[in-house]
Structure 1
Amino acid sequence: MSGISTLHAAVPEIADSAVGLPAGLLDRVRHYRLERVRRQLRASRVPAIVLYDPVNIRYATDTSNMQIWTGRNPTRYVMVFADGPVIGFEFHNCEHVWDNVPVKAEIRSAVCWNYFNAGPEAASNARRWSREIADLLHQHAPSERRIAVDRLDPEGLDALREAGINVVDGQAIMEVARTIKSEDELVVMQAAIDVCELGIQRMHDVLQPGLTEQELWAHLHFENIRLGGEWIETRLLASGNRTNPWMQECSPKVMSKGELVAFDTDLVGPYGYCADISRTWTVGQVRPTDYQRRLYAAAYEQLHTNMALIKPGMTFNEFAERSWTMPDKFFKNRYSCLAHGIGMVDEYPSISYREDRGYDGMFEAGMTLCIESYIGDEDGNEGVKLEQQVHLTTNGCMPLSTFRFETDWL
């Protein structure tokens, strides 16, 4: 056993956000998510999983420690057994991040073998790390020599194999586990969406000619951080001729009256859940031109046609075949997918256009999804981005994001 070893049990829940939740709800969410992980491990016949992705760690344990930094620097990890303990390996002097999380876990010091931390000792540290993982597997699942890992650099993979451990893909296990949301989870997700929509309203209220794209984008960050949110995954806000093609991140460009401004929030809000919403406006909230209106009408039609199509039991390929037919002049600049899953961040599935021949699967009640549209002429100078976050029920898609569309443009 390396470093410290303490046992963290249930403790009183404290508020970690300006957005409150009903008493006990967050604990039920934590229990549900951990059991989803364990259920998927059993279904995959894998005794344990090692988690490095900070989003997967958050999902399984609701612990959070420097999410962006640890996403780049693999310095904390968690081992979850299908029928056994949760063991958290924490970064230097950071075991306190488990203090207010009622997940019964043994806490140890992480063995860091990324080059930044270990330098030329990376390989030997990786071997020491692998021996500890192998010892734990032997202790809690003595007949097993297989383990899942969600992310692993080559040194770690080689070290586990040297220790006689077979490694299987943990990303698939976690993506499937995260797919179906409980009713309590929807309440937590809605808290993030509510904060996001406050930020969107703030952007709408201040949008005037002379503002830069970056200044406008800062208002979304302000509301998110002020109300207990965490980070924003992209900087997708563009105006005028920077709206076509899409995927141009915000810049110092000064916005002019009457041009389009479009954005995609990709916001990780309170309690670690994502609010992924896109809207398009005119700078100065002026009446759009006929050309802008036609773009908006096409995006609105695509979004709402596709949202009405999705039902539990429908396959992804069936949905792609039946989805709104995009006119040829817009097709080259189409968005990367028709829809995708959403939870703590973007997640499985990602559903491609029929022409892009994506993978198949089946929609299930309990999924949360984002329906996507981007409309921009191949040779045009502006485009419209719309996106709606929904909960898939037995009756179809129910919107979770409620920020208004520009229906008077239609």
Structure 2
Amino acid sequence: MSRIRDAALNRPLNEPVLLDAATEPVEAAPLGLDIRARIAEIDEARLRKDRLARLRRELAKRDYAGALLSDPMNIRYATGSRNMAVWTMHAPGRYVFVATDGPVVMFEFGTTRHLTEGLDTIDDLRTSIPWFYFLAGPRTEEKTALWANEIIALMAEHGAGNRRLAVDRCEPWGAQRLVDAGIRLYDAQEPLEQARMIKTPDEIMCLQLSMDVCDIAVDRIRRALRPGLTENQVWSILHETNIAHDGEWIECRLLASGERTNPWFQECGNREIQAGDIVAFDTDMVGPFGYLADISRSFVCPDKRPSADQRALYEIAQEQVLTNIELIRPGLGFRDFSERCWAVPEAYVPNRYMMMIHGVGFVDEYPTVAYLEDYADWGYDGHFEENMVVCVESYIGAVGGREGVKLEQQVLITANGAVPMSRAPFVDAMEP
């Protein structure tokens, strides 16, 4: 049944730490010497420099004078700076102005400026002017005017007459002040996503490191899995392992068991897992250096052998992922891929996963590849390129069926095709 074997299967993996009992906390997973050494090997200065250069090339292609970025993912890509990333996703009080041909001006919370001082990608460090209501309250209009005046002045000083500015997140009353000053606003997400699409050699090292940490966690989950544990207890193993190995956060709560595996996207809870239940999960793990490890696995809880129906679901999902991985190669168009891809059996089409492929970097990124029948609604074309990292998805579960299987493999696109980055059990994983 297997036609693809992970190229990294023989790579040594840190010994996992197991759950001792359902009611006891997980022992702290030791930071293995191999992981510690590999973290130290990452040339962070080169990583930052190369990413900033890629962004500036994309800005120059579009004749933008610069970019104004508030999204913490984009700030980190452009500068390498990290400060309360999850909090600032909903409280955008720090931002950066990146001149296409000029300085990088970082605006940081006054009491946290020390976190960014001395960073080689930042030329000018200033105190930010938060203008969202939580911090500005009834002074929002005043703070918005101060914020806008500073951005207008930067454009006048470093735009060389170019009034085209790429912006990612900006409340309309702030945007209007920039427009009234003669600045033309454009979506920064396009140049950012295009810059982030092709990974530098250091980014590939970071992505592989994050995946190796994820594999440790998946191995621990599989060894710890037994009847009586709750979904939340099992899910906590991924979090603990990630944090212990210098990782950062988990994007979602996608672990389900038994009948909660169909349909997909039910978040984990306090359900006790029973012997013979399918336990399916999607890691969405932001690991070391902020890079994503995004794989899905489905296991059967021990003390009861997999049923024929469970094996059939798994084999179909596995066939979809393996077949589609084989198709990927540099130069292949997204629509061409959709036309040639593995055909989902009719019984599973209504509950199929929302997309077949998506890009990976800090988080889920461009591109997404739609099923052919979805192109009229939201699909778009493009082509795969060498040094892209993408995830190949499958969910197989019939409407009204008791269970479903979720599988996903993260792959690096090389000159010779797609190479899986994970060594966590995938092929024939339901075999005893």
TM norm. shorter chain > 0.5: yes
Q: How does 1:101-140 map to 2 (within 5 A)?
A: 101-140=119-158
| CA 1:400–1:242: 2 relative to 1, 3 Å | same
Deviation at 1:98, TM superposition (A): 1.2
Question: Does residue 165 of structure 2 align to residue 144 of structure 1?
Answer: no
Rounded Cα–Cα distance in structure 1 between residues aligned with 2:383 and 2:428: 32
Indicate conservation of the 8 Å contact 1:340/1:371, yes or no.
Answer: yes
What is the identity percentage for the equivalent residue pairs of Structure 1 and Structure 2?
A: 46
- Of 96-105 and 166-175, more deviation after overlay is shown by 96-105
SS at match of 2:89: helix
Other-structure match for 2:266: 248
Other-structure match for 1:395: 416
Q: How does 1:163-312 map to 2 (within 5 A)?
A: 163-284=181-302, 286-312=304-330
Question: Does residue 48 of structure 2 align to residue 30 of structure 1?
Answer: yes
SS at match of 1:111: coil
What are the Cα deviations for residues 33-59 of structure 1, in whole angstroms up to 9, with x where unaligned?
A: 010000000011101001111011111
Deviation at 1:120, TM superposition (A): 2.0
Indicate conservation of the 8 Å contact 1:313/1:363, yes or no.
Answer: yes
TM-score by length of 1: 0.93
What amino acid does structure 2 have at the position aligned with 1:380? G
Indicate conservation of the 8 Å contact 1:19/1:191, yes or no.
Answer: no
- Of 305-314 and 281-290, more deviation after overlay is shown by 281-290
Question: Does residue 115 of structure 2 align to residue 82 of structure 1?
Answer: no
What amino acid does structure 2 have at the position aligned with 1:90? E
Indicate conservation of the 8 Å contact 1:40/1:176, yes or no.
Answer: yes
Deviation at 1:285, TM superposition (A): 6.6
Other-structure match for 2:22: none
Out of 74, 97, 109, the position equivalent to 1:91 is 109
What amino acid does structure 2 have at the position aligned with 1:385? K
Indicate conservation of the 8 Å contact 1:127/1:160, yes or no.
Answer: no
What amino acid does structure 1 have at the position aligned with 2:76? R
Other-structure match for 2:91: 73
Indicate conservation of the 8 Å contact 1:19/1:227, yes or no.
Answer: no
SS at match of 1:407: coil
Rounded Cα–Cα distance in structure 2 between residues aligned with 1:151 and 1:141: 20
What amino acid does structure 2 have at the position aligned with 1:350? T
The gaps in structure 1 that reach 5 residues or longer are 1-16
Deviation at 1:124, TM superposition (A): 2.4
| CA 1:89–1:408: 2 relative to 1, 3 Å | closer
SS at match of 2:317: helix
Other-structure match for 2:359: 341
What amino acid does structure 2 have at the position aligned with 1:244? N
What amino acid does structure 1 have at the position aligned with 2:317? A
The gaps in structure 2 that reach 5 residues or longer are 1-34
Other-structure match for 1:4: none
SS at match of 2:419: strand
Rounded Cα–Cα distance in structure 2 between residues aligned with 1:408 and 1:66: 38
Question: Does residue 72 of structure 2 align to residue 54 of structure 1?
Answer: yes
Indicate conservation of the 8 Å contact 2:299/2:429, yes or no.
Answer: no
Deviation at 1:21, TM superposition (A): 3.4
Deviation at 1:402, TM superposition (A): 1.6
Out of 44, 60, 71, the position equivalent to 1:42 is 60
| CA 1:394–1:122: 2 relative to 1, 3 Å | same
Other-structure match for 2:388: 367
Rounded Cα–Cα distance in structure 2 between residues aligned with 1:312 and 1:191: 24
- Of 252-261 and 117-126, more deviation after overlay is shown by 117-126
Other-structure match for 2:30: none
| CA 1:261–1:24: 2 relative to 1, 3 Å | closer
What amino acid does structure 1 have at the position aligned with 2:135? N
Deviation at 1:163, TM superposition (A): 2.1
Question: Does residue 362 of structure 2 align to residue 378 of structure 1?
Answer: no
What are the Cα deviations for residues 347-370 of structure 1, in whole angstroms up to 9, with x where unaligned?
A: 000111111111111111111000
Dislocated runs of 4+, deviation >4 Å: none
Rounded Cα–Cα distance in structure 1 between residues aligned with 2:278 and 2:222: 13
Deviation at 1:19, TM superposition (A): 6.0
Rounded Cα–Cα distance in structure 2 between residues aligned with 1:101 and 1:145: 28
Deviation at 1:409, TM superposition (A): 4.1
Question: Does residue 341 of structure 2 align to residue 323 of structure 1?
Answer: yes
Q: CA RMSD in A?
A: 1.4
Indicate conservation of the 8 Å contact 2:299/2:430, yes or no.
Answer: no
What amino acid does structure 2 have at the position aligned with 1:189? L
Deviation at 1:99, TM superposition (A): 3.5
Rounded Cα–Cα distance in structure 2 between residues aligned with 1:409 and 1:242: 19
TM-score by length of 2: 0.89
Deviation at 1:162, TM superposition (A): 2.1
Deviation at 1:408, TM superposition (A): 5.9
SS at match of 2:223: helix
What amino acid does structure 2 have at the position aligned with 1:404? P
Deviation at 1:104, TM superposition (A): 3.6
Out of 328, 331, 355, the position equivalent to 1:313 is 331
What amino acid does structure 2 have at the position aligned with 1:231? W
What are the Cα deviations for residues 368-398 of structure 1, in whole angstroms up to 9, with x where unaligned?
A: 0000000001120100000001011111101
SS at match of 2:61: helix
SS at match of 2:393: strand
Rounded Cα–Cα distance in structure 2 between residues aligned with 1:311 and 1:378: 33
What are the Cα deviations for residues 22-78 of structure 1, in whole angstroms up to 9, with x where unaligned?
A: 556222111110100000000111010011110111111111000110010010001
SS at match of 2:354: coil
- Of 97-106 and 161-170, more deviation after overlay is shown by 97-106
